[in-house]
Amino acid sequence: MTASGTSGHSNEEIEKLQKSPEILSALGAFVTKGVTLKYKKGNPQPRIVEIRSASGIINSIGLQNNGVKSFVTNELPLLFKFKDPKPVIVNISADTVQEFGEVASFLNNCALSEIVSGLEINVSCPNIKAGGVAFGTEPKYVERIVETVKKSIDDRIVVITKLTPNVTDITVPARAAISGGTDALSMINTLRGMAIDIYTGRPFLGNKTGGLSGPAIKPVGVFMVYECFKKISQCKKGKIPIIGIGGISTWQDAMEYIMAGATAVGIGTAWFIYPEVFKEVYEGMKNFVEKQNKKIADFIGKAHA
Ligand SMILES: Cc1cc2nc3c(=O)[nH]c(=O)nc-3n(C[C@H](O)[C@H](O)[C@H](O)COP(=O)(O)O)c2cc1C
């Protein structure tokens, strides 16, 4: 799957996918950039800084988007035009619990709602009512957001809760999302980070801090998937599947996530550098399992045996 925020909604990234049937056919689902209730201007520039040895980037986009109404009118129809249609998962963000429900309900009731297969709730965004603390670090909010979103949509739309790694124990928000009724978990979002320009002596990003993604965060993501699979029985039994995200740039990285307990994987930063990544990851995984006369399912959680 595409990781949210790294392939836009329907812009040039999607055109790139359209032009390459091989890359498109390697994708299991398309996850959009985060959509909010109202237009968001985003954070001041610069918004992205590369970190040493190409091990990752720190971004602070600030959820720039035109709001859910514009998304439904101008972006969603274009996602329908894929020659090889993919399930579309809309990533949603909000400043309050109620707003999460409003975005979800708008998507559920819009004219093209049949295009929406799932909603991915981004709980990493700041809760303005609680002084800007990320929702995802407060289990009670995670539970309430998931409950509210579930109540606002039809059962046919799958709900995925995207967890933030900026917590001490990832199983706490994971369990809260499950109590709220999530159908699946995705992890991880970016880790909080910062880069300082030593020649100006100032933080590099316009927003000062941002979120670290790319190869540097893969061991954190693999560990968090491993923890949830190990400690949460619904994950282990496959009732609540985990989508492994964070630093995947090769098929071997993806297999690590599968062996930790993921059922699917998402790729973000690597796609900025290397558009063929989806195809290579898909083919590499396929060869790896087929050479052993096995299916991918045989490897889910293998590291726990
Ligand atoms: C530029 C950029 C924008 C992002 N925007 C979103 C977003 O809107 N919603 C979200 O849930 N995650 C967002 N993410 C997080 C990614 O979906 C992903 O969880 C993270 O980057 C780790 O995966 P990666 O190392 O493969 O990039 C964004 C990441 C990047 C780099």
Question: Is 83 within a domain?
Answer: yes
**H helical segments located in 112-181:** 139-152, 171-180
Q: Which atom of ligand 1 is nearest to the CA of 245?
A: 23
Q: How many CB atoms lie within 10 A of CB 214?
A: 24
pLDDT of 131 above 60: yes
Q: Which residues form the pocket of ligand 1, taking CB atoms under 6 Å from any ligand atom?
A: 3-6, 33-34, 59, 61, 63, 91, 122, 162, 189-190, 213-214, 217, 245-248, 267-270
Instruction: Give the CATH number, domain containing residue 102.
Output: 3.20.20.70
The answer to whether the beta carbons of residues 1 and 264 sit under 8 Å apart is yes
**Measuring from atom 6 of ligand 1, which residue has the nearest CA?**
5
**Can 228 be counted among the known catalytic residues?**
no
Question: Is 55 within a domain?
Answer: no
CA of 129 to the centre of ligand 1 (A): 24
Question: Is 231 within a domain?
Answer: yes
Domain total of the chain = 1
**H helical segments located in 5-75:** 12-19, 21-26, 68-70
Q: What is the pLDDT of residues 148-167, one digit of tens each?
A: 999 999 999 999 999 999 99
Our mutation pick for probing the ligand 1 site, out of 48, 190, 205, 271, counting the most ligand atoms within 8 A of Cβ, is: 190
**Cα–Cα distance between 229 and 304 in angstroms, integer?**
9
Question: Is 250 within a domain?
Answer: yes
**Cα–Cα distance between 134 and 184 in angstroms, integer?**
20
Q: What is the pLDDT of residues 203-261, one digit of tens each?
A: 999 999 999 999 999 999 999 999 999 999 999 999 999 999 999 999 999 999 999 99
Question: Is 71 within a domain?
Answer: yes
Cα end-to-end span (Å), the chain: 27
pLDDT at residue number 9: 64
Write out the residue range of the structural domain in which residue 227 sits.
12-42+63-191+214-304
Q: How many CB atoms lie within 10 A of CB 259?
A: 20
Name the catalytic one among 110, 125, 228, 235: 125
Dump strand ranges (E) for 100-187: 116-122, 126-127, 133-134, 158-162, 184-187
Q: What Rg do the C-alpha atoms of the chain give, in angstroms?
A: 18
In what helix (H) or strand (E) does residue 196 lie, and over which residues does it extend?
Answer: strand 196-197
pLDDT of 10 above 60: no
Q: Which atom of ligand 1 is nearest to the CA of 188?
A: 19
